[in-house]
Amino acid sequence: MIRNRFVTLSPEIEEAKREHKPIVAMESTIISHGMPYPQNVETALECQRICRENGAVPATCAVIDGQICVGLTDEQIDYLGREGKNVNKASRRDLPLLLALRRDGATTVAATMIAAASAGIRVFATGGIGGVHRGAETTMDISADLEELAHTPVCVVCAGAKSILDLNLTMEYLETKGVPVIGYGTDELPAFYTRKSGIKVPWRLDDPGLIADAICAAEEIGYEGGMLVVNPIPEEYSMDADAINKAIDEAISEANRLGIKGKETTPFLLAKIKDITGGSSLAANIQLVYNNVRLAAKIAASI
C-alpha cells in the first residue's frame, strides 16, 4: 500500500481497510467511454449495489481534480457518466500529468489497477480488458492494460476480450509476461459477448475460494504482477457469434477507413458495435459486468 498526497480513499474505503473488509475495485473508463449516458451511470451504481449484496465494498476509481480517488460518491459517478468523452481517458501514461495539472480522468483497467494497488486492494471487476489489437504487427497497438497485468499485483475479473482484439496474440502476450489466466468454470477464453473463442486457457478453476488462494500464494512469494480471471457471460445473455462478429468486422473496417488511432480506437469500436447491433450489444455488456462483479465480490470475500 502506497499512501501519498495524490491518493484519496473515500471514508467508506478507509473504514473497510481498517476493518479488513473485502473490497472490489472498479474502473471508470467503462462509465465515460465504454457506455452511453444514462445506462453508464445506472450500470455503475447497480455494480456497487451488487458488490455489496455479495459481501464486498465497492471502490470505483477515477482521477478527480488531480487526486487518485478510490471510492467515488454517486455524484462523482454521475459527473463522469454525463461528461462522457469530455473526460480524459486516463491510462498509466496519463496519471503524472493529470495529478500535476489537477485534472479529471476516467481510469482504464491499467490506471485502475494502479489506483487499487496503491490502496492495497487485490480484486478488481470490469467488463473487458484492452489487449493486442488486430493488425498490431504493423500498428503496434497493444493496450497498456497487458503491461499493467505484468507488473501490478491486482486480480482482474473480466469476461475475456472482445474480438476487436486479436485474441490469440493477446493470450501469447500474457503468457510471455507471466500473467496467470484463469478460466472460471471454463477451459476456453470467453470472447466477451459470447462464451467461447476456441482458445484454451492455461488454468480452469470452478471455485472462487481457490482463486483467492492463488492470490494469497502470489502475495506470499512477492509475485510481481497480477492475474486475469476470465468469466463467461451468462448463457441467457450471450449473443449470436456470427452476428456479433460481423458487427465487429464492420466496426473495424470503419475505424480503418476513418484512420482512427491511439486511445480513440477502443471507444470508437465499442460505440460503433452498439450502433450496428441496435443496442443489443449494450444489454449483453451490462449483464456480463454484473456477473463479473458478483464473482469478484466472492473472490474478495474468500481472501
- Cite the active site residues: 27, 162
- CB-nearer residue toward Mn ion: 249 or 264: 264
The distance from CA 292 to its chain's CA centroid, rounded to whole angstroms, is: 10
Task: Write down the least CB distance from residue 111 to Mn ion, Å.
Answer: 13
**Residue 134 binds which entry of Mn ion, ligand PSU, none, with Cβ cut-offs from 5 to 8 Å by kind?**
none
Q: Binding ligand PSU by CB under 6 A: which of 29, 163, 197, 238?
A: 29
Confirm or reject binding of residue 27 to ligand PSU (CB under 6 A): yes
**Residue 40 binds which entry of ligand PSU, Mn ion, none, with Cβ cut-offs from 5 to 8 Å by kind?**
none
Binding residues for ligand PSU restricted to 92-151, rule: CB under 6 A: 108-109, 127-130, 143-145
Query: Cα–Cα distance between 48 and 26 in angstroms, integer?
Result: 9
**Residue 17 binds which entry of ligand PSU, Mn ion, none, with Cβ cut-offs from 5 to 8 Å by kind?**
none
Closest CA to 106 of 86, 128, 124, 121: 86
What is the grid cell recorded at 299?
473472490
Give the residue carrying C-alpha cell 467511454.
33
The distance from CA 21 to its chain's CA centroid, rounded to whole angstroms, is: 22
Residue 118 backbone phi and psi in degrees, to 5:
-65, -20
**Residue 133: strand pairing partners:** 165
Q: Binding ligand PSU by CB under 6 A: which of 122, 134, 263, 274?
A: 263
Query: Cα–Cα distance between 191 and 196 in angstroms, integer?
Result: 6
- CB-nearer residue toward ligand PSU: 162 or 298: 162
**Residue 105: strand pairing partners:** 63, 88
Q: Binding ligand PSU by CB under 6 A: which of 30, 80, 114, 284?
A: 30
Task: Write down the least CB distance from residue 108 to Mn ion, Å.
Answer: 10
